[in-house]
Amino acid sequence: MFVDIAKIYIKAGDGGDGAVAFHREKYVASGGPDGGDGGRGGNIVFVADTNLSTLADFRYKRKYIAPKGENGRGGRCNGKKADDLIIRVPLGTIVKEAETGRILADISDNEPVIVARGGKGGWGNPHFATPTRQTPRFAKPGLPGEAFDVQLELKLLADVGIVGYPNVGKSTLISVVSEAKPIIANYHFTTITPVLGVVRMGEESSFVMADIPGLIEGAHEGTGLGHQFLRHVERCRLLVHLVDVSGSEGRDPKKDFETINEELKKFNPELAERPMIVAGNKCDLTEDEVVEDFRKYIEAKGYRFFPIMAAINYQTEPLLKEIQEQLSKLPPITRYEKEEAPVLPEDEIGKQAVRITKHDEVYFVECEFLLRILRTINFDDSESLQYFQRVLISSGVIDALKEAGIREGDTVSMYDLEFDFVE
Instruction: Kindly write down the DSSP assignment for every residue of 104-141, as one continuous string.
Output: EEEE-SS--EEEEPPPPPPPPGGGG--SS--S----PP
End-to-end CA gap in the chain: 63
Rounded Cα distance between 371 and 109, Å, is 31
Q: Is residue 294 classed as helix, strand or coil in its secondary structure?
A: helix
The candidate with the shortest Cα–Cα distance to 355, out of 271, 413, 303, is 413
Q: Residue type for 323, please?
A: I
Rounded Cα distance between 343 and 21, Å, is 40
Q: Which residues contact 287 (CB under 8 A, 6 or more apart)?
A: none
* 43, 66 Cβ separation under 8 angstroms: yes
Q: What is the Cα 189 distance to its own chain's centre?
A: 30
pLDDT at residue 223, as a whole number: 47
Rounded Cα distance between 308 and 266, Å, is 29
Q: Across the beta sheet with 63-65, what order do the strands follow?
A: 63-65, 5-11, 147-154, 93-97, 103-107
Rounded Cα distance between 40 and 71, Å, is 9
The tens place of each residue's pLDDT in the chain, 423 residues long, gives 457 789 999 999 999 999 989 988 887 777 789 999 999 999 999 999 988 888 888 988 999 999 999 999 998 999 999 999 999 999 889 999 998 899 999 999 989 999 999 998 988 888 888 777 788 887 888 888 999 999 999 888 889 988 888 888 888 898 888 877 765 555 455 555 677 888 888 777 888 888 887 665 554 454 444 556 677 778 889 999 999 998 888 889 999 999 888 888 888 888 878 899 999 999 988 899 999 999 999 999 999 999 999 889 899 999 999 999 999 999 888 888 888 766 555 555 554 578 888 877 788 888 777 776 776 676 777 777 787 888 888 878 888 888 888 888 888 888 767 888 887
Rounded Cα distance between 208 and 199, Å, is 6
**Segment 175-179 long-range contacts (CB within 8 Å, at least 24 positions apart):** 176/310, 176/311, 176/313, 176/316, 177/209, 177/313, 177/316, 177/320, 178/209
The candidate with the shortest Cα–Cα distance to 118, out of 61, 62, 63, 39, is 39
Q: What is the Cα 14 distance to its own chain's centre?
A: 23
Q: Which residues contact 267 (CB under 8 A, 6 or more apart)?
A: 219, 220, 226, 227, 230, 233
Q: What is the Cα 334 distance to its own chain's centre?
A: 13
Q: Which residues contact 134 (CB under 8 A, 6 or more apart)?
A: 30, 32
What residue ranges define each of the domains in the chain, with the CATH number in brackets? 1-154 (2.70.210.12), 160-327 (3.40.50.300), 343-423 (3.30.300.350)
pLDDT at residue 396, as a whole number: 82
Q: What is the Cα 335 distance to its own chain's centre?
A: 10
Rounded Cα distance between 160 and 320, Å, is 11
* 321, 315 Cβ separation under 8 angstroms: no
pLDDT at residue 228, as a whole number: 61
